[in-house]
């Protein structure tokens, strides 16, 4: 199997050295989860992992300058997502002040039956992300509203977050205007619509199973015990906010802009400004107060505890914990990539890809591992995908199978990594820990299992000549990678930077 390199003359760490870095990170995560719990924070675990990886890199022949370049490279990848994340905090605060989120919660409590709430959240978020191609935009708008509605209906927040994320990543994964969809197709050298059709064989069943599970879970929440709280929320919102259909203008503006593929950062800025203007014009909020809300977060002072607890959130400063986690996680990912540790680890998998079963299973596991250790789904799509394309070509497996596997493993599991961009984002926006919601994010858990099951049963692993409606590797020049790039992740950064509307789009 061919293994692309960062620089053929650069030092190359040993397999033992690279594995020791990953082993230390696994140990720190294990210690945090099972031994230290609340007494430790993920940020510090990742910083210690960066220290250990830096020592291994120095021993392997890299200079401190090389190490610093790797860390800064990871931060460079994170810059646009972090700016968007900052603006999401501003947007949430402005939408609460404008009455948008209170109105969405009010009407949601009026219209949605508690028994069907969870499956409704999956369906609505699936449609929204399919239309916009953005799971992050969906979570920041509809997702926040569903969290509020779920609170009023007595649904556990982690369960609601699982439904929101499952729907958001499904629509985004299938949408032809999604970044991750286009990126995976490009990396695997697959036709975009061949790639999307191929994904329906894994993502389709996973979505159906997810919807069925949430349907039956929802039947356990008839709402009788929580009617008083729902009534209290509705009354509190109605007494303190101007509730009307005009409140839906900000999300409508965001949906239209996202559908027209306006930059995600611009969408968040415009959505925040529209919300802020409505807060001043409709809700009577002072301009100075509005600016404070955007910075420090909206503070509800209705005197009704459920309402104040639900609507006191958002703001630029509230996102700083999440943003710092994202920077540290991607700094580690950049260090692992630029010091060739990921390359060494993935290159050692060559003997496992001699047949289709081993290739698909290896691809899934490699993408999952890269997601965990790089903190970026983009790197998890790019590095294993490009390294394994020659193996797909050798076995005459269609490119759409390779691209599908990229998404079945890298894209859907991004929200499950607490220190990754996806996990940090959803934790910040939905205000639920990834450790809590991951068990309820059924789509992210089921899709990789279906991919592995297909591989073990040799199902839907199409080869040359088995389908005439899709492109093959031999209908296009091999190796679309720009040789002037210094690394595979450079290629990912270049591709993503031209099309990013939402960094987890995904």
Phi and psi torsions of 286, nearest 5°: -70, 150
Residue pLDDT tens, the chain, 506 long = 443 444 567 788 898 998 898 888 778 877 766 666 555 567 888 888 899 999 999 999 999 999 999 999 888 866 877 787 788 889 889 999 999 888 888 887 777 778 889 999 999 899 888 877 778 878 887 888 899 888 888 899 999 999 999 999 998 888 876 778 877 888 787 888 888 899 999 999 999 999 999 999 988 876 544 567 677 888 888 888 888 888 889 989 988 887 787 877 888 899 999 999 999 998 999 999 999 999 999 998 888 887 887 788 888 998 888 788 778 877 887 888 889 887 787 777 666 777 889 999 999 998 998 888 777 787 788 778 877 887 888 888 999 999 999 999 988 999 998 888 889 889 988 989 998 999 999 999 999 999 999 999 988 898 887 766 556 655 554 444 433 333 333 444 443 333 333 344 44
Alpha helix ranges (H) inside 32-176: 42-59, 64-97, 100-111, 117-132, 135-138, 144-153, 157-174
For residue 396, is it within any domain? yes
Q: What are the structure tokens assigned to 123, written together? A: 């369906």
CA dihedral sign, ordered 123, 147, 105, 130: negative
Would you call 452 exposed, middle or buried from its count of C-beta atoms within 10 A (0-12, 13-18, 19+)? buried
Question: Are 54 and 63 contacting, i.e. CB atoms less than 8 angstroms apart?
Answer: no
For residue 15, is it within any domain? no
For residue 316, is it within any domain? yes
Question: Are 316 and 89 contacting, i.e. CB atoms less than 8 angstroms apart?
Answer: yes
Distance (Å, rounded) from C-alpha 374 to C-alpha 492? 13
For residue 156, is it within any domain? yes
Model-level pTM greater than 0.85? no
> Distances in Å between the alpha carbon of 44 and those of 26, 409, 460?
14, 27, 43
For residue 67, is it within any domain? no
For residue 25, is it within any domain? no
For residue 33, is it within any domain? no
For residue 45, is it within any domain? no
Structural domain boundaries, residue 160: 77-324+351-506
Q: How many CA atoms lie within 13 A of 60 on its CB side?
A: 26
How many separate domains does the chain show?
1
Residue 335's closest CA among 441, 487, 450?
487
């Amino acid at each position: 199997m061919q293994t692309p390199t960062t620089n053929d003359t650069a030092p190359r760490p040993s397999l033992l050295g690279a594995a020791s870095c990953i082993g230390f990170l696994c140990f720190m995560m294990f210690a945090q989860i099972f031994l230290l719990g609340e007494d430790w924070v993920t940020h510090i675990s990742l910083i210690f992992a960066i220290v250990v990886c830096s020592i291994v890199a120095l021993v392997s022949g890299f200079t401190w300058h090389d190490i610093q370049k790797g860390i800064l490279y990871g931060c460079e990848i994170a810059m646009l997502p972090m700016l968007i994340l900052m603006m999401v905090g501003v947007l949430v605060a402005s939408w609460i002040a404008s009455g948008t989120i209170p109105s969405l919660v009010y009407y949601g409590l009026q219209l949605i039956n508690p028994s069907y709430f969870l499956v409704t959240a999956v369906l609505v978020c699936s449609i929204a992300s399919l239309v916009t191609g953005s799971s992050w935009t969906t979570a920041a708008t509809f997702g926040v509203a569903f969290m509020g509605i779920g609170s009023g209906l007595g649904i556990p927040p982690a369960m609601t977050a699982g439904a929101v994320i499952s729907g958001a990543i499904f629509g985004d994964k299938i949408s032809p205007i999604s970044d991750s969809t286009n990126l995976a197709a490009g990396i695997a050298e697959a036709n975009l619509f061949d790639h999307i059709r191929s994904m329906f064989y894994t993502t389709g069943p996973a979505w159906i199973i997810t919807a069925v599970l949430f349907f039956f879970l929802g039947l356990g929440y008839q709402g009788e015990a929580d009617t008083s709280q729902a009534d209290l929320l509705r009354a509190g919102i109605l007494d303190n906010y101007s509730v009307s259909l005009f409140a839906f203008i900000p999300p409508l503006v965001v949906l239209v802009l996202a559908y027209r593929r306006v930059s995600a950062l611009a969408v968040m800025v415009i959505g925040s400004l529209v919300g802020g203007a409505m807060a001043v014009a409709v809700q009577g909020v002072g301009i100075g107060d509005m600016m404070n809300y955007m910075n420090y977060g909206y503070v509800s002072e209705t005197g009704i505890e459920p309402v104040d607890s639900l609507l006191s959130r958002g703001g630029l400063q509230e996102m700083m914990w999440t943003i710092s986690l994202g920077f540290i996680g991607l700094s580690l990912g950049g260090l692992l990539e630029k010091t060739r540790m990921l390359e060494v680890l993935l290159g050692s998998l060559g003997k496992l890809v001699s047949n289709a079963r081993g290739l698909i299973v290896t691809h899934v596991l490699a993408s999952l591992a890269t997601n965990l250790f790089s903190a970026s789904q983009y790197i998890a799509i790019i590095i294993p995908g490009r390294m394994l394309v020659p193996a797909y070509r050798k076995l005459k497996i269609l490119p759409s199978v390779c691209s599908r596997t990229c998404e079945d493993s890298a894209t859907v599991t991004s929200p499950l990594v607490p220190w990754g961009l996806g996990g940090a984002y959803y934790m910040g926006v939905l205000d639920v820990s990834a450790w809590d919601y991951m068990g309820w994010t059924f789509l992210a858990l089921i899709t990789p299992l279906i991919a592995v099951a297909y591989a073990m049963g040799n199902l839907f692993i199409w080869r040359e000549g088995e389908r005439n409606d899709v492109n093959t590797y031999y209908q296009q020049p091999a190796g679309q990678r720009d040789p002037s790039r210094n690394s595979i992740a450079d290629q990912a950064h270049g591709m993503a930077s031209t099309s990013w509307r939402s960094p987890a789009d995904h």
